[in-house]
């Protein structure tokens, strides 16, 4: 039982893709420990995530990371109130590792098990900063699998008002990086190449930005880069900068439109692509509402964001049970 003034500790576990994340978060706000084992160097040789390798890597390190997270936090299992884990979407084999590990701990420790949607985890990442957002807000979630504008009126209620019809924006960074012979993952390597490049060298298309719709399309941009590369003499840095400019331009335009249409008073930016410097700077400079974004360390997948979302679910009594199983295509709303 939790007495009125005792602190709530959530152990958060994230294994939906190629990062094993385990963290202890206090009262949904304070990170006591956060361990992330990235598999990027392992998958880089293949140019993308190999699902079978990903799940095996999670199995290898999850137990050790959990010991370390508990030790660094100085929190005994008896003082953990609930174990939260990403239940979907993601790679089935990877999700199974985290969910089964979390359920086993919850069973052994006689604690609650809290399943968390991966995007909900990302949306809660700015709550781990000194300036947490207040509900209601608009969220722009941009990752390797999602590009979504989500109206968030109150905790755990989500209305998706815009989403990609094909590729996610992070996916387009990854695919264009391959076309440019830049390393995986594409986001950071394109950003780095673009630093020295001219963003106006090539005018790439900004799909679906003329009407009032809030959906996105990124597959045409990738194809436009492919065709350009067949004829251009522009250096890689200029192609990278021009691609990044177009990709970010669409995100800024659609977010501005969504703010106008919803009247939302603040924006939450989250997901792996939230690490993009140009996107962060432009949203901060060009929107007329406060923008809450996670620090760089919480943009990539991590256990702390799952613990933060798990804390909110725990206090709202939105618990799971030990029969819960992962869903690789779990919808948010």
Binding site for ligand KG4 (CB under 6 A): 17, 143-145, 170-171, 173-174, 185-188, 191, 271-273, 275-276, 300-301
- Please choose, from the candidates 286, 280, 313, the residue with its C-alpha nearest in 3D space to the C-alpha of residue 112: 313
311 Cβ partners below 8 Å, 6+ apart? 8, 10, 25, 27, 28, 84
Q: Which C-beta is closer to Zn ion: that of 143 or that of 148?
A: 143
Taking the complex as a whole, the smallest distance from the CB of residue 171 to ligand KG4 amounts, in Å, to 6
DSSP 8-state class, residue 201:
S
Q: Find out whether the peptide bond into 148 is cis, omega within 30 degrees of 0.
A: no
Number of H helices, E strands in the chain: 10, 10
Q: Which C-beta is closer to ligand KG4: that of 319 or that of 330?
A: 330
- In the list ligand KG4, Zn ion, none, the entry touching 187 (Cβ below 5 to 8 angstroms by class) is ligand KG4
DSSP 8-state class, residue 28:
T
Taking the complex as a whole, the smallest distance from the CB of residue 270 to Zn ion amounts, in Å, to 9
Q: Which residues in the 139-198 window bind Zn ion by CB under 5 A?
A: 143
Q: How far is CA 221 from CA 36, 95, 181, 209, 229, in A?
A: 32, 31, 17, 13, 12
Q: Which C-beta is closer to ligand KG4: that of 111 or that of 175?
A: 175
Taking the complex as a whole, the smallest distance from the CB of residue 196 to Zn ion amounts, in Å, to 28
Taking the complex as a whole, the smallest distance from the CB of residue 257 to Zn ion amounts, in Å, to 24
- Please choose, from the candidates 167, 153, 133, the residue with its C-alpha nearest in 3D space to the C-alpha of residue 269: 133
Taking the complex as a whole, the smallest distance from the CB of residue 299 to ligand KG4 amounts, in Å, to 7
- In the list ligand KG4, Zn ion, none, the entry touching 300 (Cβ below 5 to 8 angstroms by class) is ligand KG4
Q: Find out whether the peptide bond into 73 is cis, omega within 30 degrees of 0.
A: no
Residues that bind Zn ion (CB under 5 A): 143, 301
């Amino acid at each position: 039982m939790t007495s009125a003034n005792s602190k709530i500790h959530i152990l958060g576990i994230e294994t939906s893709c190629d990062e094993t994340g385990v963290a202890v978060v206090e009262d949904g706000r304070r990170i006591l420990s956060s361990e992330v084992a990235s598999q990027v160097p392992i998958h880089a040789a293949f140019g993308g995530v190999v699902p079978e390798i990903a799940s095996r890597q999670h199995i290898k390190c999850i137990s050790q990371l959990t010991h370390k997270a508990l030790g660094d936090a100085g929190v005994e299992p008896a003082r953990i109130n609930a174990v939260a884990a990403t239940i979907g979407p993601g790679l089935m084999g990877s999700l199974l590792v985290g969910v089964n590990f979390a359920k086993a701990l919850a069973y052994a420790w006689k604690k609650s098990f809290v399943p968390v949607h991966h995007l909900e985890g990302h949306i809660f990442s700015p709550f781990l900063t000194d300036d947490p957002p207040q509900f209601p807000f608009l969220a722009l979630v941009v990752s390797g699998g999602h590009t979504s504008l989500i109206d968030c009126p109150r905790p755990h209620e989500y209305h998706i008002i815009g989403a990609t019809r094909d590729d996610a924006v992070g996916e387009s960074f990854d695919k264009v990086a391959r076309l440019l012979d830049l390393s995986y993952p594409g986001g950071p390597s394109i950003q780095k190449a673009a630093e020295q490049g001219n963003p106006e060298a090539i005018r790439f298309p900004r799909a679906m930005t003329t009407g009032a719709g809030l959906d996105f399309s990124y597959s045409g941009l990738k194809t436009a880069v492919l065709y350009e590369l067949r004829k251009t003499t522009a250096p890689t840095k200029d192609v990278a900068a021009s691609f990044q400019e177009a990709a970010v331009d669409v995100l800024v335009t659609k977010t501005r439109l969504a703010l106008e249409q919803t009247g939302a008073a603040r924006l939450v930016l989250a997901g792996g692509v939230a690490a993009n410097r140009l996107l962060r700077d432009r949203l901060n400079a060009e929107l007329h509402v406060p923008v809450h974004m996670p620090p760089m360390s919480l943009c990539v997948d991590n256990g702390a964001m799952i613990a933060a979302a798990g804390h909110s679910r725990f206090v709202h009594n939105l618990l799971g049970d030990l029969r819960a199983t992962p869903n690789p295509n779990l919808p948010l709303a």
